[in-house]
Amino acid sequence: MIRTFPALAAAATLAAGAAMAESHASAPQPAATAQMKLADGTSVGTATITPGTDGVLVHLEVEGLEPGPKGVHLHQIGECDGGTDFKSAGPHIGDDGNTAHGLLHPDGPHAGDLPNVFVGEDGSGQMEAFTSAVSLSDTPDGMLDSDGASVMIHAEGDDHFTQPGGTTGARLACGVLEPAS
C-alpha cells in the first residue's frame, strides 16, 4: 500500500507537465499571410497576421530593401498590381475621408496605420505591432472580406502626422493578405 503513494505523486506531476505543454502547443497561429513584392514581382519578404482576443498581431520580415525607415500600412483592397504602382490596393483601411492619417495625428489615425519597419544596412528588417483597430473577419470592415486587404511598405518613413500619407512617398512593396493554410 505505502509504496503506491510515491508512484501516484509522480503520475500527478507528469499530468501537470503534460497540461502545460498542451496549452503552449495551442498558441494562436497566423490566420493570414502576405507575400511582399516589388512592382516588378521581386519577392522582398512576408507579413503574417495572428488574431488575439482584442486585436491582431502584425509581423513583418523584409530583405533586399534600401536601409532606413519605411512606412507600413494596411490598405483596403487585396490587389497588388505593380502596373498601377500599387494604387490598385486602394486607400488605407479606415480612410473614410473624415479621419486623418497618422498614429500621432489628433484627428487620426486610420485603422490601417502601423509603425515603420526599420531596414538595416544588410537590407533586412522586421516589424511587429499589435492593433485592435482592424480585424480579419469576413465582414465589410474585416480584412478577409470579399475585396480583401493588403499590406503596403512605402519607400520612406512615416512621420505619423503629415497628410495625406505621412511623408511615406511611393508604394514600394505590396502583399495581398490570404487566409493562412
- 73 interacts with Cu ion by CB under 5 A: yes
**Nearest-angstrom CA–CA distance, 127 and 122:** 16
**Nearest-angstrom CA–CA distance, 87 and 102:** 19
- 152 interacts with Cu ion by CB under 5 A: yes
Strands 125-131 and 55-62: antiparallel
Smallest distance from the beta carbon of 114 to Cu ion, in angstroms? 9
- 101 interacts with Cu ion by CB under 5 A: no
Kindly tell me which of 12 and 104 has the beta carbon lying closer to Cu ion. Answer: 104
Smallest distance from the beta carbon of 149 to Cu ion, in angstroms? 12
Kindly tell me which of 9 and 170 has the beta carbon lying closer to Cu ion. Answer: 170
Grid cell for residue 7? 508512484
* Torsion angle of C-alpha atoms 68, 72, 77, 78, degrees rounded to 10: 70
Kindly tell me which of 56 and 74 has the beta carbon lying closer to Cu ion. Answer: 74
Stretch that binds Cu ion, among 46-54, 102-110, 114-122, 149-157 (CB under 5 A): 149-157
Grid cell for residue 52? 488575439
**How many C-beta atoms surround the C-beta of residue 129 within 10 A?**
17
**Nearest-angstrom CA–CA distance, 133 and 73:** 12
Stretch that binds Cu ion, among 5-13, 14-22, 73-81, 134-142 (CB under 5 A): 73-81
| 54 three-class SS | coil
Kindly tell me which of 26 and 98 has the beta carbon lying closer to Cu ion. Answer: 98
- 105 interacts with Cu ion by CB under 5 A: no
Residues that bind Cu ion (CB under 5 A): 73, 152
